[in-house]
Chains A and B, each alone.
Chain A
Amino acid sequence: MLKYKISYFYRLASPKVSYGLVDRLLPWIGSMAGILLLYGVIGGLFFAPMDYQQGDGFRMIYIHVPAAFLSLAIYSVIFISSVIYLIWHIKLADFCANSSAGIGATYTLIALISGALWGKPMWGTWWIWDARLTSELILLFLYCGYLGLRSAIRDRERSAKAGAILAIAGMIDVPIVHFSVEWWATLHQGATLAKWARPSIDNDMLYPLLGMIAGFGFFYLTVLCVRLRTDLLKREWQLKS
């Protein structure tokens, strides 16, 4: 059984098999993203009750939290893919890391801008050099650095190796972003959805939030599939990027 599973994963690493899989999965993943995002937006904007302290301003949670969550999750995907690439030299892992960086940077930018837009009416300021905000900004720089490095080196192999090393070194920022609100006294509030604890928000507010997190996740997978397909085709036909 284990042997079969391992051989299946090896088969997945082959460009032909992975291209077929990505091609078949794309419409389903895209539809799921559309449905979940629609549910999250309608639920968050029209059905979730107003917050007793923040009023309608709290509705920015449905953009800010999923974007911030995905910014960390995608960086973790890049980290894992980079480790796999450096150890086993699986090209698909490098494609996965390279294709994830753009959308990861976008989510980080969305988290920062939505945070600023939320901060102005609630805290009275767009920006503060708080541990959570600063570490998230560093994450954006890491994404930009990764993208810049990948495009600066022409040789695909060298570019993949350099990118992987940068991604692994930059992983140190991910736990700092996550735990910054616990380690330091920050203006930013603690986690709304803790892993083991009951969520601190009502179910009417929670379900659209979970829908948006899943929707943002599926949207990431959609973009990843499109980019993976492009990268795999380019490699197959030996086209320059």
Chain B
Amino acid sequence: MCAIKNGFIKTGVAIKIMTHMGYVIICYSMAFLLLAFNLILSWSEWQKTLKRIEIKKSKSE
């Protein structure tokens, strides 16, 4: 009986820890996805600007 009870407690603790780690993983993934999105957006804008300048240069030539 005691062993079963201990088993339940251990399983309960394990699930609780897993749940906490689950929140942590979601939190880190969300943060780095948003940051990466921001950097990619800025970088693509920079590349787009370079292309526009190339077009303008070639037109003026």
Binding site for B on A (CB under 8 A): 41, 45, 54-57, 59-60, 63-64, 67, 102-103, 106, 109-110, 113-114, 117-118, 120-121, 219, 222-223, 226-227, 229-230, 233-234, 237, 239
Contacts and interface: CB of A to CB of B under 8 A. Distances in A.
Contacts of B28: 41, 45, 63
A219 B35 contact: yes
Interface string B39-57: 1011101100110110010
Contact of A233 (B31, B35, B37, B49): B49
A189 to B, nearest CB: 17
Q: Interface on chain A toward B: helix, strand, loop, or mixed SS?
A: helix
Nearest to B38: A106
Given A59-B24, A118-B27, A234 B49 contact: yes
Interface residues of B, number: 27
B24 A226 contact: no
27 contacts: A41-B28, A45-B24, A54-B20, A56-B17, A57-B24, A63-B27, A63-B28, A64-B27, A102-B38, A102-B42, A103-B38, A106-B35, A106-B38, A110-B35, A114-B27, A117-B23, A117-B27, A118-B27, A219-B35, A222-B39, A223-B38, A223-B42, A229-B46, A230-B45, A233-B49, A237-B56, A239-B49
Contacts of B9: none
Nearest to A102: B38
Nearest to B42: A226
B19 interface: yes
